[in-house]
């Protein structure tokens, strides 16, 4: 069963995403800030991380950069779900190693579809 780590400091969003992903049949872990996200990446070893960017103390960009610079964490899909909607901000996310950058508000159907695709490609490859 694929493992998904959800990182966001907004409780409502975390709740909604958790329910959706559980319904898809994935194993879920949720955290509310960047430091715990980096920790959980090593301990929980998710296949995919749903990552918010705007978080206090350590933002999503930094989380992404840290995970990508750690060779032991290679192969994790990172999907940024963020309210930072400008073009340059999307570029920054992708440049720092995100596989996908989705701006809020987003269509849940879209997110579910994309997550399914990415996980399928991993297991297929």
Partner 1 sequence: MVAGRPHPWYLLGGAALLCVAFFTGADLLLSSGTEDPVARARVHEVVGAAAGLVLLILAVFFGALWRLVFLPLELLGRETRIVGVNPGHTIELPRHHLLGDVPQAIHDLGAGLARSKRLLEEAAAAGSSDPENRQARLETILASLQEGILVCDDRARIVFYNPAARGVFRNNSALGIGRSLHLLIAAAPIENSLQILRQRRVRHQEPPETDSGVSFVCPTLQGGILSCRIRLLPDLPGLPWSFVFTCEDISSEADALGRRESLLRATVKSMRVPLTGLGLSADSLEMLPDLDAARRAELVHTIAHDTLRLITQFEVLAHEIEEMESPRYLARDVFVEDLVACVAQRLEEKGTRLTMIGDPVWVKADVHALLYLLEFLALGIRRSCGVGAMELETLLGDKRVYFNFCWKGAVVPQAEIEGWMSVAAEPFGAHTVGEVLERLGSEVWSRPHGTPGFAILSLPVPSVPGRCVLQPPAPPARPVFVDTPAPDEIVAAGVREFLPLDRAFFVVFDTETTGLAPAGGDEIISLAGVKIVNRGIVVSESFNQLVDPGRSIPQSSTRIHGITDDQVRGRPRIDEVLRAFHSFVGDAVLVGHNAAFDMRFIRLKQERAGVRFQGPLLDTLALSRFLHDHTPAHSLDAVARRLGVEIRDRHTALGDSLITAEIFLKLLYLLQERGVNTLGGALEVSGR
Instruction: Find the shortest distance in angstroms from Cβ 38 to partner 1.
Output: 12
Which of residues 10 and 59 has its CB atom nearest to partner 1 in the complex? Answer: 59
In the complex with partner 1, the residue whose CB is nearer, 39 or 120, is 39
Long-range contacts of 22-30 (CB under 8 A, 24+ apart): 24/112, 24/115, 24/116, 25/1, 26/1, 26/2, 26/119, 27/1, 27/2, 27/3, 28/3, 28/4, 29/3, 29/4, 29/5, 30/5, 30/6
Give the nearer residue to partner 1 in terms of CB position, either 19 or 95. 95
Residues belonging to the chain: 125
By beta-carbon proximity to partner 1, the closer residue of 109 and 123 is 109
Residue numbers at the binding site for partner 1 (CB under 8 A): 58-59, 61-62, 64-65, 69, 85-89, 91-92, 95-97, 105, 107
State in angstroms the smallest separation of the CB of 103 from partner 1: 8
CB of 124 to partner 1, least distance (A): 28
Structure-block tokens of residue 32: 């509310």
């Amino acid at each position: 069963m694929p493992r998904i780590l959800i990182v966001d400091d907004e409780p409502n969003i975390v709740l909604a995403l958790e329910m959706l992903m559980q319904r898809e049949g994935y194993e879920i872990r949720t955290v509310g800030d960047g430091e715990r996200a980096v920790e959980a990446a090593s301990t929980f070893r998710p296949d995919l991380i749903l990552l918010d960017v705007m978080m206090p103390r350590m933002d999503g960009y930094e989380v992404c950069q840290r995970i990508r610079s750690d060779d032991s964490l290679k192969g994790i899909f990172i999907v940024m779900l963020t309210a930072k909607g400008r073009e340059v901000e999307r570029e920054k996310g992708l440049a720092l190693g995100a596989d996908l950058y989705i701006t809020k508000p987003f269509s849940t159907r879209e997110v579910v579809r994309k997550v399914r695709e990415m996980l399928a490609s991993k297991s297929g490859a």
